[in-house]
Amino acid sequence: MGTSWSVSVAAPPGFDRGATAAAIEARLEHILGQMSHWRADSLLGRFNAAPAGAWLSLPADFARVMDAAFDVAERSAGAFDPAVGVLVDIWGHGPVKVARPPGPEEIAQALSVSGYGRLLHEHEPARLRQPGGLRLDLSGIAKGFAVDALALLLRERGCDHALVEIGGELVGMGLRPDGDPWWVEVETPACEPELLRIALHQLAVATSGDYVRGRHTIDPRSGLPVEHAVSVSVIHPSAMLADAWATALGVHAPLAAQNLACREKLAVRLLTRTGDELEEWLSPALEAMIEDD
């Protein structure tokens, strides 16, 4: 996924560090073999290269991610879209870098072959139909899924107290060895709103935005980079859904994002840009979680 992972564990009796690390690496490799946008030989890569009319049978992990992706796509009115691989690629955010930004005709062409609405998605058995020229990109949801998958792997190995992180997306289980929850701080640009400190007790947090990696989020509806979303953090029991919703909310204009977060009862912090001004907004669900020092 082009990033790193880390796991902190309050080790149970008999904990085998080497075996657990090997199991984590194997689980991640299994996920990448299915959903990596960066590997031509992944299941996703093979679907992207398939001819029009071809069907792809989905293993359980892939099917679960696609079910969630379609649901968030519908609920967000297309602000989240798993079928934006062509748009991502022409802007140089995919496996191949580009020499210049795309022009209007290139964007229009990419839009014409993109969009989850072009996908035929069946559940029994789970499979997807390639409509022709469409490319999946699960970068906005697969990383969160992988965080959840590692948390489940640890629980299955008797590790009920751990903090799992992949590329800044985190989930906390149980407590630290000192009895505290797993505290994490959500980054913000320097000299701007104070850090948001979260007790990840059976919770996940995912953040999307542009202040670290630049304007890399593409609006699936216009094909253009998002310019207003500095940082969008979502706290949720599922890292996969936190990941997807952080992307979707960042694509929407600030007021629409606020309305959507309230409608979905999501715990969200939005940090948005208007000209040279930054504005912070906390959703009612997040406000209800905050305790003043």
pLDDT at residue number 190: 56
Tell the residue number behind the tokens 């035929």, with chain if given. 120
- Distance spanning both ends of the chain, measured CA to CA: 37
Give me 5's structure tokens. Answer: 């992972």
- Return the closest-CA partner of residue 162 out of 179, 148, 182, 180: 182
Give me 142's structure tokens. Answer: 């697969």
Alpha-carbon gap, residue 280 to 40, rounded angstroms: 40
Alpha-carbon gap, residue 217 to 45, rounded angstroms: 21
Give the side-chain half-sphere CA count within 13 A for 35: 28
- Return the closest-CA partner of residue 89 out of 139, 55, 46: 139
For 166-189, what is each residue's pLDDT tens digit? 988 999 999 999 999 999 988 766
For 10-56, what is each residue's pLDDT tens digit? 999 999 999 999 999 999 999 999 999 888 899 999 999 999 999 99
Q: Where are the domains of the chain?
A: 160-287
Task: Report cis status (omega within 30 of 0) of the bond before 125.
Answer: yes
> For the chain, which ranges sit under pLDDT 50?
214
DSSP 8-class letter at 163: E
pLDDT at residue number 119: 96
pLDDT at residue number 73: 97
Binding-site annotation: residue ranges? 140, 243, 247
Alpha-carbon gap, residue 137 to 82, rounded angstroms: 5
Which one-letter amino acid corresponds to residue 143? Answer: K
Alpha-carbon gap, residue 253 to 88, rounded angstroms: 20
Compute how many other C-beta atoms are within 10 angstroms of the C-beta atom of residue 12: 12
Binding-site annotation: residue ranges for Mg(2+)? 140, 243, 247
Give me 174's structure tokens. Answer: 């149980």
Taking phi first (over 0 means left), then psi (-120 to 50 degrees means alpha), and beta for anything else, what does residue 92 get? Answer: left
CATH classification of 160-287, choosing from 3.40.50.10860, 3.10.520.10, 3.30.230.10, 3.30.565.10? 3.10.520.10
Q: Quick check: 154 and 164 in contact, CB under 8 A?
A: yes
Alpha-carbon gap, residue 109 to 86, rounded angstroms: 9
Which one-letter amino acid corresponds to residue 106? Answer: E
Q: Which neighbouring-strand residues pair with 246?
A: none
pLDDT at residue number 210: 59
Alpha-carbon gap, residue 93 to 96, rounded angstroms: 8
